[in-house]
Structure 1
Amino acid sequence: MSRPIEDYALIGDTQTAALVGRDGSIDWLCLPRFDSGACFAALLGNPEHGRWKLAPSSRGPVMVKRRYRPDSLVLETEYTTAEGVVRVVDCMPPRDRTPDVIRLVEGVKGRVCMNMQLVMRFDYGSVVPWVTRETGELRAVAGPDALSLYTPVAVRGHHLTTVADFTVAEGQRIPFVLRWHPSHEPAPEPLDGVEAVADTEAWWKEWFAHCTYQGAWPEAVRTSLMTLKALTYAPTGGIVAAATTSLPERLGGMRNWDYRFCWLRDATFTLYALTLGGFREEAEAWRAWLMRSVAGDPSKLQIMYGVAGERRLTERTLPWLPGYAASKPVRTGNAAVDQFQLDVYGEVMDAIHQANRIGLSSNHRSWDVALVLLDFLESGWQQPDAGMWEVRGDLRHFTYSKVMAWVAFDRAVKAVKRYGLEGPVEHWREVRDRIHQEICESAYDPKLGAFTQAYGSGNLDASLLLLPLVGFVHPKDPRMVGTVRAIERELLDDGLLRRYHTHETDDGLPPGEGRFLACSFWLADNYVLQGRRDEAEALFERLLSLRNDVGLLAEEYDPLSKRQLGNYPQAFSHVGLINTAFNLERYHISPAIHRRENHVAEQEAPASP
């Protein structure tokens, strides 16, 4: 039976990541990159699909307590048994040449009997490697992949797995080091496990020294910033949406997607969150990844790319995996890459604008890219699209998509006026104002008193909460106040927001999903901007309470089963947490923050709230 998603903690080396369960089992690890085949895939299947369990062998009750060492992605899991207390320290050192997993068993009290089970599989559990023993090394090889295990503990083979039984006494430290390398290359030299843990902790502490957050929620914000860093692919600066694939939006359902890619939609939110936290280097790298990835024919702009900017993310199913909680199919790749989503043009333009606004180093090539995108968008904005939720059905004139087209031209006008960049500013202003007028005429329903999901639809969508955050409408405009009220009435369920009513998407999949956590953070942002601070803080605290014991959030939450759902940990959820925390902190200074500008259109110029 699948463990709850929130039972897992994250470790990583800023090129890939592993999920470690409370039971001491690493059930998910892709090597050597986030989007590589998994060598531990038990998360989406069974132990025989690959895992690495290291835990007490006691048959009696075991009390589990875990934490990250302060300001680091070094995980400590402490087990209290009738025999004594043992601690397992897990980490992945920031990469030199190869990815490594370090597991250090420390005796804390008494003598505790331990068991290790290592099930090495490649290609998502489909390939059983050939295992050999060398001096001080156990090596597994199949195709392009090789794993080497180094430990002083005697191990043995058992039914295509590697097992060990040993005892750890108070004061003892027993290392286990697992190293991946291309099978055609010599195995890397063994690491000193104790030293590697210390070096990893020191690396993270040095990174955290740049953090500037001093607000009321330091643990939550710092953990979220650390999660973003862990989801960064360091060689390119790309940030994956999550470390996993196919964790379902509904248990037993079919809404199971691969999130190990980089979404353009996340660009501005992430830029802003990293910069607020003091991490300009990461923001610079993310902006540089963005500019490299989108270069080319603007009509072929994708909504997502691989961690190095790859464009072919072909979706396929893995029939040999039964899926998390029997949620099938298990998918790799993502067919949504071929969708036309209008909003990403605005996201790219907004990212360029925010980079200029927050003072990132000048990049003239980014403006060349912007000019090409705007040229295409001048006619492209009138097309229907799949919307930000990547609906796999008929294309529509989604309101948020049109708003982001408005954002693209709005930011272009500002770039000329504020930063002296060249362009036909009067023409862009005319296009911007024409889009604004059409949206207000076609997407606002006077009877409902709210903006709607798409032109003439009458349905609501949580993405509408972004309208004041991107500056399209003043947060206290009666139309926006009415939209927030309508969303509260129709989409707020047990204090958390639905994205939309899933039966309205007509995407051919059964309805039903959890509550998309980023949407609830957007609602809290709207409360802040409308002066409803007490409600904003109450909602924010509720969202914080949904994190697991080490501070991580998935994509969604199900208030009925009280379980996290969707891919994990989810960058978008943690970005929302960071931005809302800063919004709450700055409320008494200036509520007009986040992505919002202090005007809707120049001729309207409402006063700041």
Structure 2
Amino acid sequence: MDRRIEDYGLIGDTQTAALVGRDGSIDWLCLPRFDSAAIFAALLGTEDHGRWRLAPAGEVTRTERRYQGDDLVLETTFHTADGTVRIIDFMPVRGQSPDIVRIVEGVHGAVPMRMDMTLRFEYGSVLPWVRQDGNALVAIAGPTAVWLRTPVQTRGENFSTVADFTVEEGDRIPFVLTWRESHKSPPKPVDPERALRDTTAWWAKWLSRGTVPDSPWAPLIRRSLITLKALTYAPTGGIVAAPTTSLPEQPGGVRNWDYRFCWLRDATMTLQALMYAGFAQEAEDWHHWLLRAIAGDPAKIQIMYGVAGERRLSEYVADWLPGFDGHPVRIGNAAVDQFQLDVYGEVMDALYQARLMGSGTGESTWALQRALMGIVAQRWQEPDEGIWEVRGDPQHFTHSKLMAWVAADRAVKSVEKFGVEGPVDDWRALREEIREDILQKGWDSDRSTFTQYYGSEELDAALLMIPLVGFLPADDDRVRGTVAAIEKGLLIDGFVRRYTQRHDIDTDGLPPGEGAFLACTFWLADNYVLMGRTDEARQIFDRLTELCNDLGLLSEEYDPVGHRMLGNFPQAFSHVPLINTARTLAGGHTHQR
């Protein structure tokens, strides 16, 4: 089966999300949360691992799709020899239970349709019992149950539920799938048309709270903001990196990771993008999530948590799933146990920015920040696994030290700007000590570039953050030298790779090979703007935005050889820099603090 990541669209209810293929098949859905087990897992296997396809029974001559507006209501229009039909897919903002609503609309002609629902719980490994329950079909296995309600007559066939029907012009035929714990009473029926109106109204109201300046990129910015909101877990304010697991960073490779968790780094960057667009409530919700998640001993802060703040995210391989273009399929993420020094800088910076915006000013927040600074002072000289979560030996990553400097810098500025209390002289001294350490040990004067880690010759695109966080100005010769080195060593086919990968280098403990990293390419464009190379920045930005699929969605990486998306999808870590770079090009926020 020739599938591409970009063939999928996103629907969601700000608690979980589904991926809908261009062919009308929902191939990924975890219920009731982002990190719950999937009931449709064909994305990582075959149709036998669970999917819900709704499409014309005959040949499709052309397919178009779009979101109805600035929302997550997906329309897929199929053209056939018999006529045209439209599938409207959405998830109502969560009420009593999570629902997926699919409305089949006859546009013209009379189109024979086929519905094929293969329910497989626990990531495709469990075949549920299916029975009729009044006007609904219910499937149950263990703690999980789902109800399908539709006026169409269904039947069982080869351990799937199927239906054949014809849609004529003007028809609107609904299908509603609802999840509920199996020990509870059946969920109340959903009125599909009312749910549609409520869903479009909810997204319109939400988007109206923010501000997107007029620019050529305003539609892409709005779509990215909506995508980021879709990745927030509404009950807690946590923000997941992506709604998927194990979409490969290299076809047939092993760099397949579970991203359905809340990375402090990703969440802080997402928070900043939302905050500067005027979404203060998201900032407040995330702030409360953070305080709850890391409550207890600050020395035991993790780099990631579950959507409600869970700490144990043990990793295992779901070996019954063949994977998307290769194995393995990983559930959970062992990187949860890593020490990543840069996270402290990200959190300190995010809370500093929130304070600038009038949020996160409570005593408990500053007490947390002071505790975090104690850890930075104690551990900044230790090696760590870094921003790229290497699974090789820890190193003294230059970017990690940079972000430790950011932590100290934001602590000092918080005292100076807001009058909060703290050992500011100690923090100033720490800031200078880290700065001198980076300039002496992270700089390669022979090659005129900062290096990936102290004493190495490798490059790292994360060092493009040096001028963006205010460590050195963009016109500094050391910044220019680093950018030039990255252009020479990591810029391939117009896109930036994360870091040097060769068979004779074992920095990350994995075989070399992956796609170009989209966030790093956006960072290069930001550097160009700060250097006055605006035309080049615009060229890079245009090249990046052309990678968005027809729905405006981006994955984590891109294969410039195979011309296809790679990595988990849609990826917050790609949509955040899209927003930031668009604002930079428009003369707004430039990252510098």
Q: TM-score scaled to structure 2, two decimals?
A: 0.98
Letter in 2 for 1:542: R
Output the CA distance in 1 between the equivalents of 2:33 and 2:506: 33
Aligned to 2:452: 453
Question: Which residue in 1 is equivalent to 2:555?
Answer: 554
Distance in 2 separating the partners of 1:469 and 1:358: 19
What pairs up with 1:166-565 in 2 under 5 angstroms?
166-216=165-215, 217-325=217-325, 327-503=326-502, 504-565=505-566
AA aligned opposite 2:516: R
How far the C-alpha of 1:399 sits from its partner, in A, is 0.3
Task: After TM superposition, give the deviation of residue 286 of structure 1 in Å.
Answer: 1.6
Distance 2:10 2:32 in 1: 16
Distance 1:113 1:352 in 2: 56
Q: Which range moves more in the overlay, 189-198 or 217-226?
A: 189-198
TM-superposed deviation, 1:526: 0.4
Residue by residue, what CA displacement relative to the aligned partner does 1:273-329 show, whole Å, maximum 9, x if unpaired?
10222211112212221222223223221111111111100001101000001x211
- Partner residue, 2:163: 164
What stretches of structure 2 of length at least 5 have no aligned partner?
A: none
Residue 146 (str. 1) matches residue 141 (str. 2): no
Structure 1 position 447, deviation (Å): 1.0
Report if aligned partners of 1:554, 1:565 keep a CA contact under 8 Å in 2: yes
Paired residue secondary structure (1:146): strand
Count of aligned positions: 590
- Aligned partner of 1:5 in structure 2 is 5
* 1:61-106 CA-partner distances (Å, limit 9, x unpaired): 4210000011111000000100000000000000012100000000
Instruction: Say if 1:287 and 1:351, in contact at 8 Å, map to a contact too.
Output: no
RMSD (Å), alpha carbons:
1.1
The answer on whether the counterparts of 1:267 and 1:351 sit within 8 Å (CA) in structure 2 is: no
The reply on whether 1:595 has 2:563 as its aligned counterpart is no
Q: State how far apart, in whole Å, the 2-side matches of 1:153 and 1:185 are.
A: 26
Structure 1 residues 24 and 182: CA distance shift in structure 2, 3 A = same
1:258 and 1:174 map into 2 onto residues whose CA distance is: 36
- Structure 1 residue 361: deviation in Å? 4.8
- Does the aligned pair in 1 maintain the 2:237–2:289 contact within 8 Å? yes
Contact 1:406 1:436 in 2 (8 A): yes
Do structure 1's residue 131 and structure 2's residue 130 form an aligned pair? yes
Q: Per the alignment, do residues 329 and 154 of structure 1 end up closer, same or farther by CA in structure 2, a change over 3 Å counting?
A: same
- Matches of 2:401 and 2:2 in 1, distance apart? 41
Query: Within 1, Cα distance between the matches of 2:163 and 2:495?
Result: 46
Separation in 2 of the partners of 1:148 and 1:581? 43
Deviations 1:472-510 (A, max 9, x none): 111111100111111001100010000012333433322
* SS of aligned partner of 2:586: helix
CA contact (8 A) 1:400 1:453 kept: yes
Distance 1:466 1:438 in 2: 17
Q: Which moved more, 1:365-374 or 1:76-85?
A: 365-374
Q: In structure 2, do the counterparts of structure 1 residues 331 and 235 end up closer, same or farther at CA, with 3 Å as the change threshold?
A: same
The answer for the alignment partner of 1:590 in structure 2 is none
Quickly say closer, same or farther: Cα 1:245–1:2, change in 2 above 3 A. farther
Q: Can you give the 5+ residue segments of structure 1 that lack an aligned partner in the other structure?
A: 588-592, 598-609
Shift of 1:178: 0.2
Matched residues, percent identical?
A: 60
Could you tell me how far apart the structure 1 residues matched to 2:125 and 2:211 are?
A: 45
Change (3 A) 1:148 1:267: closer
Give the AA of the match of 1:24: G
Counterpart residue type for residue 74 of structure 1:
V
Structural mapping, 1:558-573, within 5 Å = 558-573=559-574
Whether the 8 Å contact between 2:390 and 2:509 is mirrored in structure 1 is no
What is the identity, as a one-letter code, of the residue corresponding to 2:47?
Answer: P
TM-fit CA distance, 1:2: 4.9
The amino acid of 2:271's aligned partner reads: L
Native 8 Å contact 1:268 1:354 kept in 2? no
Task: Report the secondary structure of 1:324's partner residue.
Answer: coil
CA 1:2/1:306 → structure 2, altered by over 3 Å: closer, same or farther? farther
Match for 1:214: what amino acid?
P
Q: Which moved more, 1:315-324 or 1:207-216?
A: 207-216
Greater shift in the superposed pair: 192-201 or 246-255: 192-201
How far, CA to CA, are the matches of 2:518 and 2:447 in structure 1?
25
2:87 alignment counterpart: 88
Comparing 412-421 with 350-359, which one deviates more in the overlay? Answer: 350-359
Between the aligned partners of 2:150 and 2:506, the Cα distance in structure 1 is 53
Write the letter of the residue equivalent to 2:281. E
Cα 1:443–1:377, aligned 2, differ >3 Å: closer, same or farther? same
Whether the 8 Å contact between 2:351 and 2:360 is mirrored in structure 1 is no
Moved more, 515-524 or 495-504: 495-504
Q: Which residue of 2 aligns with 1:46?
A: 46
Change (3 A) 1:2 1:27: farther
Shift of 1:237: 0.7
Whether the 8 Å CA contact 2:287–2:360 is kept in 1: the answer is no
Q: Deviations over 1:544-577 (max 9, x none)?
A: 0000000000000001110000000000100010
- Partners in 1 of 2:566 and 2:452 — Cα distance? 24
